[in-house]
Amino acid sequence: MSTDQDKLIAELVEKGLTGDMESINSIEDRVLRSKAKAALAKAKRAAKSQETADPQKKKSEEKSSDDFSSSVNLNERIENMINEKFPGSLVNKNTETHIQLKPDQWFDIATWLKSESSLSFDSLQCQTGIDVGDNILEARYNFHSMKHKHYTEIRIAVPRQEATIPSVEQIWRIADWFERETYDMLGIEFSGHRDLRRILLPDDWEGWPLRKDYQVQETYHGIVVPKMKEGWE
């Protein structure tokens, strides 16, 4: 596409966003007209997702001033406390939905999270492993406190080649099985875990299925593992 056409389409999209469809509809060339319309639809979608992202943030701030303690303020409070007690662990991402940490002092921070009386996160609700692309794997922990009834989410990112995070199974006993499952599906190793082995897949399975570049193995004990059944064979 030539740069003239690019400029023309950009102008038409600008006009279309303000509501002026005449200039697009009056183009003779069918191909150019359809390209302009496609570009306009894309721009509208991008603008809409910007809008919905803002009310989402506002809504979460409104909700947080309900019975449960305000999660935004809670996250800020926790971040400040972590910065004081365990300097260097916080990765400054400045989001209200979660706290991003480095894996080095995670065991100590976790012990403190459970024992600190104003927080008392005595229940690990969910642990998710996720492959965020760019060769980074993340482990996300959702905590909940039975006493104070507040929630928080903590994320720890590790590089793909050396994915090791300290294990917290001594603190919350359910982390035993959650970490085994994350290891099974993504290959993140948890150092200090007393019995880290596969839990869902057989012990001699090859590969980490939930990574985005997973290739299914060809056979398992002589049974063919088809990658994808094309139609009906």
Q: For binding to another protein (CB under 8 A), which residues are involved?
A: 49, 52-53, 55-56, 59, 68, 97, 122-126, 128, 130-131, 140, 142, 146, 149, 153, 172-174, 176-177, 185, 198-202, 209-210, 214, 216, 220-221, 223-226, 228-229, 232
| Cβ nearer to another protein, comparing 69 with 128 | 128
| Cβ nearer to another protein, comparing 38 with 177 | 177
Q: What is the smallest separation between the CB atom of 227 and another protein, expressed in angstroms?
A: 8
Q: What is the smallest separation between the CB atom of 6 and another protein, expressed in angstroms?
A: 24
DSSP per-residue letters across 1-50: --HHHHHHHHHHHHHHHTT--HHHHT-S-HHHHHHHHHHHHHHHHHHHHH
Report the distance separating Cα 129 and Cα 188, nearest Å: 8
| Upper half-sphere CA count for residue 190 (Cβ side, 13 Å) | 28
Amino acid code (one letter) for 8: L
| Cβ nearer to another protein, comparing 32 with 107 | 107
Q: What is the smallest separation between the CB atom of 53 and another protein, expressed in angstroms?
A: 5
Angle at 121 between CA 117 and CA 122, to 5 degrees: 105
Report the distance separating Cα 218 and Cα 203, nearest Å: 16
| Cβ nearer to another protein, comparing 96 with 104 | 96
Q: What is the smallest separation between the CB atom of 207 and another protein, expressed in angstroms?
A: 9
Q: What is the smallest separation between the CB atom of 101 and another protein, expressed in angstroms?
A: 17
Report the distance separating Cα 116 and Cα 83, nearest Å: 15
